[in-house]
Amino acid sequence: MENIVINYPSWYLILCLLLGVVYALMMYFRDGRFEDKPGFFKWILGILRGAAVSILAFLLLTPLIKSVIENQKNPIIIVAEDASESIEQSMTADQLITYKQSIDDLTIGLSQKYEVKRLHYGDEVKTGKADSFAYKVTNLSNAIKYISDNYGDQNVGAVIMTGDGIFNEGSNPIYQNSDLVSPLYAVALGDTTQKKDLVLKDVFFNKIVYLGDQFNLQIDIAAQNCSNQQTSLQIFEVSENGQKKLKEEKINIKGSDFFTTRELTLDANKAGIRKFRVVTTGIKGEALSSNNSKDIYVEVLDARQKILLFADSPHPDIAALKSGILNNKNYTFEVKYAVRDNPVMTDYDLVIFHNLPSAETNLSTQLEILNRRKTPRLFIVGRQTHLPTFNKVQEIVTLGGNNTQTDEVQAIFKSGFSSFTIDEELKKNVSRFPPLIAPFGKYAAGPKANVLLYQRIGKVDTDYPLMSFGEEQRTKTAVITAEGLWKWKLFNYLEKQNHDDYNTLIGKIIQFTAVKDDKRKFRTDVGKNVYKENEAVRFEAQLFNDSYESINEPDVFISIYDANKKEYKYTFSKKDNYYLLEPGLFKEGRYSYQAKTTYNGKELTDKGNFSVKSIQLEQYDLTARHDVLVNLADKYGGKVFYPNQIDELSSAILSNEKIKPILYASNKTQSILNIRWILGALILLLILEWFLRRYHGSY
């Protein structure tokens, strides 16, 4: 159906017609050149010229033609195939060939009447048929969501989903909310028979532990039809030098449907990413042996920071600080005295100076080493502190006075501290702690100081800093301008029978001061230390100029080495102001890498390592779960078929009268100038008029 539309009032058409008539009359009414011709000849010429002018005038109104076009859209039939490893393992080679051919034949048959879309799924969904069965996991809910999201607004006649009903990733598809309204037909593959099998079901463990700790492995073991047999549970550590047995425990299987949980403890006595293999010795005659072992990776962190308390002399504060610091297992603590010890300052991540510098020890040698290594430090001022020297070795607090007189000062909080958070309850409790002993004099916070606690002397709140933090030459420095912290610990216990408030405050002070900022100008990040074999490895790199602004001008190269020292070379891509590399998937194993770049004529390098662990989910349970497929078919109004019934499935869909094509009506608007025959008619009118005039002796 077509309509002509103009954007002017309809009476403009009369004007177009009148314009043609007037033009023809003016041209031929008094024209004496054709007096010898019959009277109708001038009428013919006038009609031709008038029609041409009227058509031209009409075209100047830019008329449009609106058309309604009807298209028929055939229903879409979606064939989604399970392409996970369990499908291939549940069939013989001949069965697999027959199955793949039957799905191809089904697709060809349905294509005669419908539009067929083929998908295959595992842990992700991809278009096209399943040429191989290599997915390590099966996510049924993700497949249904993909179909719903991508085809939910189209004329989907039916969904055919092949699979064994085993899903080992994602949510249960039965309880999944979906917009899918078309019937779902399932092709049930695999065998539901419970065969004789010993299965190491799962291993639960902490993926990150600290060096020197112990960690537990909780191991679930199941067995079917293995009654009155015995297996052995073994734990091995796997390294480049082979595997070493760590634990072994005998397990007697009682009953045909057996399940047990065992818990074993291992020592985190070596830092790094450690690989362990949990093994159950096989049962004679079992259907599958690949599910008798499982590899796990545990990252053992040597994150303990070494803290030195360097004191002028013994003091009750030392024991109080030690207990507060060692409350956190990530710290080690040593005490040295200036009068007898000469500690190696390079061995420590944080140094606490108690009553130092003193008149006898000015700390020049020690501070020179710490400054060179940018080692954080904490000063606790007391009666033995030599104040003039103290003012020289740090700029956080300036103290004008002497040690001969002291004040009792309590802690008060004021707003403005932003380095770390202190909750209101702790602020309230600390403000009630007993007074500390501070040198008498004038205190001033330096321009780089961030003050946490101020001094209350008697009932007067002052702006004298009691506890301050800052950074000098990229080195964190903290200052406590009073001694007597042991009183806070005792008071906390007196009130609450615990040291929680005291330990929390000391822990926050130490944690903030001891943490070093990463000041490297070139650094790389591998994202995670352990990847799954179906996860793409991703690297990021950053390069900083002298002002520590992120740049990415020079190229960055990386070499990745596997356990056999085979090298894989890559070049980072530049993105925004950093570098990015996604080299893809790697096989199971341990890898090391070294990245390098050249900036300002200097080569910068960074290195690290990562591991890739295998995914064994598809090998652990090959018993098909057709009940899942039955419930899915019932939920979406379909039916379950088996591989030998695929012809019946094709007939059921082809004979389903509810699967119908849809007529789509669409509007098409185009200018009438695009219609060629109108231009041809106009030219024909003008040529015919010209020909008649010329033929009869006129121009």
Q: What is the pLDDT of residues 642-687, one digit of tens each?
A: 999 999 999 989 988 888 887 777 777 877 777 778 778 888 888 8
Whether residue 556 contacts residue 595, with contact meaning beta carbons closer than 8 Å, is answered with: yes
143 closest CA partner among 110, 184, 115, 189:
184
Which of the 8 DSSP states describes residue 392? H
Q: How confident is the model at residue 252 (pLDDT cuts 50, 70, 90)?
A: very high
* pTM greater than 0.85: no
Q: Is 401 left (phi over 0), alpha (psi -120 to 50) or beta?
A: left
Q: What is the DSSP string of 1-25?
A: -EEEE-SS-TTHHHHHHHHHHHHHH
CATH dotted code for 305-514: 3.40.50.880
Written as six digits, the tokens of 388 are 């003039």
CA 132, distance to chain mean position in Å, is 28
Q: What's the pLDDT tens digit per position in 304-363?
A: 789 999 999 999 999 999 999 988 877 889 999 988 888 999 889 999 999 999 988 889
Cα 359 to chain center, whole Å?
A: 57
User: What is the residue extent of each domain of the chain?
Assistant: 2-69+669-695, 75-193+623-654, 197-301, 305-514, 522-613
Given this chain, do its domains 305-514 and 522-613 carry the same CATH topology? no
Other CB atoms closer than 10 Å to residue 20's CB: what's the count? 22
- Quick check: helix, strand or coil at residue 420? coil
Cα 139–Cα 145–Cα 151 angle in degrees, nearest 5 = 135
Question: Which pLDDT band holds residue 541 (cuts at 50, 70, 90)?
Answer: very high
CATH 2.60.40.10 is held by the domain 197-301: yes
What confidence score (pLDDT) does residue 265 get?
92
| Tens-digit pLDDT profile for residues 451-474 | 999 999 988 989 999 999 998 877
**75-193+623-654 under CATH 3.40.50.410, yes or no:** yes
Superfamily of structural domain 522-613: Macroglobulin (MG2) domain (2.60.40.1930)
pLDDT single digits (tens) 178-194: 888 889 999 999 877 77
CA 91, CA 82: separation in Å to the nearest integer?
Answer: 13
For residue 1, pLDDT over 60 is answered with no
* Residue 697 pLDDT class (50, 70, 90 cuts): low
Most confident of 49-58, 156-165, 168-177: 156-165
Torsion of CA 432, 434, 435, 436, to 10 degrees: -120
327, 329, 331, 335 alpha-carbon torsion, rounded to 10°: 50
Q: What's the Cα-to-Cα distance from 279 to each of 217, 256, 289, 661, rounded to whole Å? A: 13, 21, 11, 57
Q: What is the pLDDT of residue 296?
A: 87
Q: Are strands 556-561 and 589-599 parallel, antiparallel or unpaired?
A: antiparallel
Task: Assign 688 a pLDDT band (cuts: 50, 70, 90).
Answer: confident
Find where tokens 């200052």 sit.
479
* Residues 6+ away with beta carbon under 8 Å from 518: none
Distances (CA, A) of 161 to 81, 641, 657: 6, 10, 21
